[in-house]
A and B are shown apart, each in its own frame.
Chain A
């Protein structure tokens, strides 16, 4: 949600119609049905100024619920009405990625970056698309540029975002069988955010391949512990 606020506040991007602020805040607060209703009320008003943005807010509510099919439909509808509201392109790109429509996802994220090249998450999204399309060199370039962009924000950089980027960069290194590079990325990721079971599991796999069985066991134990803590289910 931090990202949401940042995106909507980005100076380079079109601002959300103040008439949709309440709807957005409801979505932001997890009141998705209420947010949608508020956006629909806006749409039903006489001659709404930004019907495309209202569709975006509705799409956003579904996106936050991980209902990507429905979210994508609203983002697309919104963009049909307001092609310049590029924030919708960012979210449509990720919705398409989650739906496996990779070429379209790439196109939307590239269109977004043309307007807002300083958005690290969009670069990261392009890296994920490239990884799915087995273009590891492109994925590496995209994710490294996401890391550089995020680190360029200095103290404002989100450590969790950077940890995610490093973990996915490790996936790229693994794809290329660059085990030491994968290990380095995973260790950076863990240093940034040590509470994610997935990263510890990946580190365990890499350490085992590098011949460090004891280190691998320790990393997997940590992964298991974090996973149990997350799910509240002992051992599952």
Chain B
């Protein structure tokens, strides 16, 4: 009986299922021991239903090395066979990207009904077009893309409300592997240089002119007005509730941007005024990972960012009346606990399906010399898992959540989605210079609802409703999710709103599509379902 009650109550528990999954891949990102900043930022992951069969496949852009930065071992594509089994289908997919991949974006940019892949890279970025027959071809040049600067993150969204997907690319800094900058010191120890002291590169906004042909609108959009910054994190959704998707860019050690969408592909950075540029102490942070959730239950997005060690992660909660955001890290118990950790990928999800969102962050230092006695931190670090407990978050320890939580890695990217179709959110993690890991959510099952969006109107490329919002109402319970484009770190998670249900009764699901159109559906019972727009 005790066991049964535990099951009903839900549990936060994951098991490393990599070995039996068939995901056999070690990520390349420079040498085993990094000596330059280029080697410590990557690389990304993307969950993509590339064959449109209803399950989530995995794309890994992969990196390269300093001696051959554009000729790495190559990207990989793994097809989901069901039952948490994956098969490497790279060879037959036509994917031949061998650059130093960083962030990934996924969406149907050419409107053929199948999701394409954009890789932000050190060196030329790449657009891999999906032909709908399990094959990709490089469409970079024809699309007018291929920025050769160091791009760290990319996200797709319909920013001009014309139905197709536009592209924002966050760029980092100028770096020449053949002539790396001289080293620096950190806490008296010699380390590689950057980002401070190096030259940041500006971000780029591309308008999709239709059919997957892009043009650079950085100047006309107002994006060029920003001071070039060390862009790392990226998340697109409607931050200010005006039915237009906005762009949040986390800049490394510089103020972050919040590009509010003013319509007509015009943007204005309001991060400083609205409280998203700096932490509550007025300091710029490293801002690698980005998680978006409704922590304070007001239906507006709250923003959690991961940062450098010796600093804290930061939760900015929305203020009443749309007055912006305020640093409420301490209030939610997310500050001091994170000081030894250097954080990267992160996400809010209701992992235990108990009706509120928990928080997971992956960590790992950039300096191999990091030790508690030299930097109050370690090179390899464990993840941080928090359970929502009343008004605060409480750290979950490995004794409860499984041994994976005690294992230290040099993690970077992570993608979140239900990989085995059992209703809860699983995780794929990419370690710098280490194996890809699959963490199966095998905690107890509460009733779960997974809501996908599908815009089937002719000519619509934003089929998944990227930038949209889904609200679930059931009795007194109101839960809000966003279909975020970007987020986590350099990753593409499933474009699905996952909910733990309060019980078996009727639930009302309200979808706000990215253009502000609202659709309401009643649903009884758990399971996965798709809300369509025709």
Contacts and interface: CB of A to CB of B under 8 A. Distances in A.
B187 interface: yes
Contact of A227 (B253, B282, B392): B282
Interface string A157-172: 0000000000000010
Interface string B263-290: 0000000001101001011111000000
A160 B259 CA distance: 37
A86 to B, nearest CB: 24
B323 A209 contact: yes
Interface stretch (A13-21, A45-53, A141-149, A194-202): A194-202
Contacts of A198: 281-283
Nearest to A235: B227
Nearest to B273: A208
Interface in B318-338: 319, 323-324, 326, 328, 330-333, 335-338
A97 to B, nearest CB: 7
A69 interface: yes
Interface in B354-376: 372-376
Interface string B376-410: 10000000000000011000000000000000000
A235 B200 CA distance: 12
Interface string A125-136: 000000111100
A102 interface: yes
B249 to A, nearest CB: 15
B386 to A, nearest CB: 13
B319 A175 contact: no
B340 A99 contact: yes
Interface stretch (A60-68, A107-115, A116-124): A60-68
A67 B374 contact: yes
Nearest to B375: A67
A87 interface: no
Contacts of B283: 198
B339 A99 contact: yes
| Contact residues on B (Cβ < 8 Å of other chain), bracket | 35 or more
Contacts of A223: 282
Contacts of B227: 235-236
B310 interface: yes
A174 B284 CA distance: 20
Given A100-B340, A220-B272, A236-B253, A202 B330 contact: no
Interface string A193-236: 00001101110010011000000100010010001000001011
Contacts of B391: 134
A54 to B, nearest CB: 18
A97 B336 contact: yes
Given A66-B310, A67-B374, A69-B376, A132 B336 contact: yes
A236 B273 CA distance: 17
Interface string B488-514: 000000000000000000000000000
B319 to A, nearest CB: 7
Contacts of B335: 100, 132
Interface string A71-82: 000000000000
A134 B282 CA distance: 21
A208 B310 CA distance: 30
Contact of B282 (A70, A132, A201): A201
9 contacts: A65-B187, A67-B373, A99-B340, A100-B340, A132-B330, A175-B328, A201-B282, A216-B273, A233-B196
Given A100-B336, A200-B282, A201-B281, 20 more contacts: A66-B310, A67-B187, A69-B340, A70-B373, A70-B376, A99-B340, A99-B376, A100-B337, A102-B336, A132-B335, A134-B391, A134-B392, A175-B331, A198-B282, A198-B283, A201-B282, A209-B319, A209-B324, A235-B227, A236-B254
Interface of A: 65-70, 97-100, 102, 131-134, 171, 174-175, 197-198, 200-202, 205, 208-209, 216, 220, 223, 227, 233, 235-236
